[in-house]
Structure 1
Amino acid sequence: MNSMLNRFLWKYKSFPITISLICLCILVYAMSFVWFGEEMNALEGLYFGGFNPVYIQLSHEYYRLLSANFIHFGILHLAVNCYSLYGLGLFIEKSLGLKKYLILILVSALTTTGLPYLFYLITGYGANVVSGGISGVIFGLIGALGALALRYKYIYMDIFKQLVPNIILMLIISFIIPSISLSGHLAGLIGGFVCTYILLMIKHQKHLIH
């Protein structure tokens, strides 16, 4: 028991943001489990802070742009996302450092819901959508890895190439299964890539100045 606790504390000290995100997702799911049981339907997800553009527009419930990232509709949904976040998040957190990684997480979370919301405002598409989950942020991490691979080809390109088949599969699944938000995944991917590329450019400019 002590060894497990010590291992957890070591992981937390080494990767505080990723471990905190996973713990937050588990805590939020535990709360939804108490209220609604093992799985939530769309209405329950909406009540619990899920993303819906109409509620944001008409009721000004802008907190949904962030809260939706941390709700999960079932134990499998939670487990898959936490596993993916753990595997990729530790690597990206170590590569970028705490400050840049935190910015990346926030931008990925907000673009995951923010870009689909803007798309709804322009086109009216997605009015009946209720979505949630940390998978958009995970796609943001994939986008971040893409930016790292583009800037530092000899270090990250091989790792990114190994992930490409999985990325394509995840996007196909997002397209085929209606309950998975393809727009959220693509938005997170774009947000993560653009955010990381800008952060790396700023870092490069600072090195040139110094």
Structure 2
Amino acid sequence: MERPYDSGEDALERILHRKQKSWVMLVILVINVAVFFYAEATGGSDDVQHMIKLGAAYTPLIRQGEYYRLFTSMFLHFGPGHLFSNMLALFFLGDFMERYLGKIGFLLVYLGGGLCGNLFSMAMELRGGDYSVSAGASGAVFALMGGMLVALLMHHGKLEDLTLRRLVIYIVLSLWAGFQTAGIDVNAHLGGLVGGALLSVIPLLVRNSAHLRRNTVDSRRDGQL
């Protein structure tokens, strides 16, 4: 029995089109929303001092040993508009990246990239000597963009309905909007974008190798039938 040759790209497309539940992304989204309502109920998400108490990033405190702020700040947001924009991006980008990278790979890129964004932001503040309180998931969201960019480059510029050109335009416009808006931590965006791109290489290579091995085994099995 024979069947048409099924390339690794075809196998990958079948997997991407399966209706898999991106529950890790949904858990992260729910945590962000729950933390926001907690902040609102206990003092207000626009109260800077209250946000510092809850774990917002502030370089002087991080230098004193409160390193947890590099992580907790990713789940805090200043106001409903800040929360909505980040969660909307997380919902769409996260769904794709979790299905593509797998749950562990997704967490690696999202959390690791977010930490890279916060570290780069802190480094730039130390360099300039101008400190501000920051919070938000945008660094982690940009990390997902960086991971998607690498994924598209590895697959000839197209995956599902997403193209490299469309993603690049989206990234450029997002960065430009950050530069044009007061109070936006663009350094966290840049650090997250680069960190996410670098961190995504590991799960992408592992996943592509697994698809290639599976396809090779299937081809050999079909050749014996």
Partner amino acid, structure 2, of 1:54:
P
Percent of matched pairs sharing the same residue: 28
Q: Partners in 2 of 1:16 and 1:48 — Cα distance?
A: 26
Partner amino acid, structure 1, of 2:137:
I
Matches for 1:88-167 after TM superposition, within 5 Å: 88-121=93-126, 124-125=127-128, 127-156=130-159, 158-167=162-171
- Of stretches 13-22 and 73-82 in structure 1, the one that deviates more from structure 2 is 13-22
TM-score (norm 1): 0.83
The equivalent residue for 1:190 is 194
The equivalent residue for 1:56 is 62
Identify if the C-alpha distance between structure 1 residues 183 and 150 changes in structure 2 by more than 3 Å, giving closer, same or farther.
same
Q: Partners in 2 of 1:151 and 1:163 — Cα distance?
A: 14
1:162 positional shift: 1.5
Give 5+ residue unaligned stretches, structure 2.
1-19, 215-225
The equivalent residue for 2:221 is none
Alignment counterpart, residue 170 of structure 1, candidates 168, 174, 185: 174
- Of stretches 147-156 and 76-85 in structure 1, the one that deviates more from structure 2 is 147-156
Q: CA-atom RMSD, angstroms?
A: 2.3
Q: Which has the larger radius of gyration?
A: 2
- Of stretches 112-121 and 187-196 in structure 1, the one that deviates more from structure 2 is 112-121
Cα contact 1:54–1:127 (8 A) shared by 2: no
1:78 aligns with 2:83: yes
Partner amino acid, structure 1, of 2:23:
P
Aligned pair count reads 194
Give 5+ residue unaligned stretches, structure 1.
1-12
* 1:19-53 Cα shifts (integer Å, max 9, x gaps): 0110000011011100223x414333222211111
- Structure scoring higher RCO (CA < 8 A, sep ≥ 6) equals 2
Partner amino acid, structure 2, of 1:23:
V
Q: Partners in 2 of 1:61 and 1:150 — Cα distance?
A: 38
Cα contact 2:76–2:136 (8 A) shared by 1: yes
1:201 aligns with 2:205: yes
1:202 positional shift: 4.5
Structure showing the higher helix proportion among its residues: 1
2:128 aligned counterpart, secondary structure? coil
Cα contact 1:144–1:192 (8 A) shared by 2: yes
The equivalent residue for 1:30 is 37
